[in-house]
Amino acid sequence: MALWGGRFEEGVSEFTQRFGASLPVDKEMYAEDIAGSKAHSAMLAARGVISAEDRDAIHAGLDEILSEIEAGEFPFDINDEDIHMSIESKLIARIGDAGARLHTGRSRNDQVATDTRLFIKRRCRDLMAANIELRRALVDQAEANFDVLLPGYTHLQHAQPVLFSHHMLAYVWMLTRDFERLAAAYRAADACPLGAAALAGTTYPLDRHMTAETLGFARVIPNSLDAVSDRDYLLDLLYACSVSSIHLTRLCEEIILWSTSEFGFVTLSDSYSTGSSIMPQKKNPDFAELIRGKSGRVVGDLVGLLMTLKSLPLAYNKDLQEDKEGAFDAARTMEDCYVCAAGMIATMRVNADAMRAQVKKGYLAATDVADYLAKKGLPFRKAHEVVGHLVLECDKRGCDLEDLELADFQRECDLFEADIVEALNMEAIVAARTTYGGTGHEAVRIQMQEAKAALEADAAAL
């Protein structure tokens, strides 16, 4: 019979026991459950609710159980329903009445919420550390290939030339925002529900601030109903993971395109590629594709929890048992994706010549030719039209703007002079983008310093 089975004459069936058990999922929180129980029993002893001898027996028993779990020797039993009941039942079997007093002034409702918050705090930190390593890999590639020119795209059409380093830093800033969202999820989880009991608090003289401080929480949740029913922090984590997974799909999509024969911009390491069972020449970007694909399960985990929480009345409902599997899965998936992406980026080879060859295609100097005329006094809309005519002429001839003669330019507008040639130089075009945040060399150097400073500040904050 379960520890809660006093008012029942019959136990649940084998099927419903298995259907209702969360042990396969929540046993991952064993360390947090033991830490919470030790903090609770220490507080009970400090408040005179249990004796110091009971406290010491509880701590010794819990330490023994912790060692057995970490050694893979603990006898998990699905009949124990969840990790909390599993540990407590074994503790009572080993130390007797002292173990039975552990649950004084506590419900599984506040116990589960406490363990989950502690676990999520740990997983947030793991994710933040992995996020930093991916950002570091992107920054390193940006530095190593600082002067490489890349065609910038809109609508997947050649638009304007940019520095490859500028392109990489765009992803660094996305991930920097992802770090901030993970940090916000950590702060949301950093509140202690222990002592709220089932929903209304308890008549025992508990010191909730003592347990919160012992467990490293920043604050105590002030409302007992909210303490046991709140799962916003899990939504915050899932949202942070979902946004970051979408960012990684954008990065991976470009890596997949860039590694094709049509682009040839990058070559992935053999360690982050696979072959074909039938086509011996193939080198497939499978891991970039997997990262792209795994976004579906991460976003699905977020939607799943949103629907679980929809319309739930206060305070605790068994629906909330479904809160952990998706959150744990999303965190594990996201960390794996970060690690995989960091290794892939760090080991890929950038093919500067292939990028430079594409910079010469698609009339990437067109905007600067229009700016040339605008700076000479021609309204920009008129300048836009003039350059459009020049591009059309190039289309008809099968050439690029730089292949035109000065007379061709002057035929469209007499403001063109011999120095128009300078407006067609790709390095000069890039270097001219000196505004803050632009792709010019000096602007990117400033941006690089800021990105590295943000990275190191985040690393130090961990």
Give the C-alpha separation, 200 to 219, whole Å.
19
Helices 232-258 and 164-189 pack at an angle, to 10 degrees, of: 160
Contact call for residues 165 and 444 (beta carbons, < 8 A): yes
Taking CA atoms, 305 is separated from 181, 316, 322, in Å, by 18, 15, 8
Give the C-alpha separation, 160 to 156, whole Å.
12
Give the C-alpha separation, 271 to 347, whole Å.
9
b/e code 409-431 from CB counts within 10 Å (16+ = b): beebbebbeeebeebbebeebbe
Q: Which of 51, 61, 33, 58 is nearest to 122 (CA)?
A: 33
Q: Which of 25, 197, 245, 239 is nearest to 119 (CA)?
A: 25
Between the two ends of the chain, the Cα-to-Cα distance in Å is 45
Contact call for residues 288 and 255 (beta carbons, < 8 A): yes
Catalytic residue numbers?
A: 155, 276
Contact call for residues 58 and 41 (beta carbons, < 8 A): yes
Residue 415 three-state SS: coil
Query: Which single residue is written with the structure tokens 């599997």?
Result: 325
Helices 83-95 and 108-144 pack at an angle, to 10 degrees, of: 120
Q: Which of 262, 251, 256 is nearest to 286 (CA)?
A: 256
- C-alpha of 113 from chain center: 23
Query: Tell me, what amino acid is at 171?
Result: Y
DSSP string, 267-283: E--GGG-B--SS-TT--
Query: Which single residue is written with the structure tokens 């009445």?
Result: 97
Tokens for 217, please give them. 């929480």
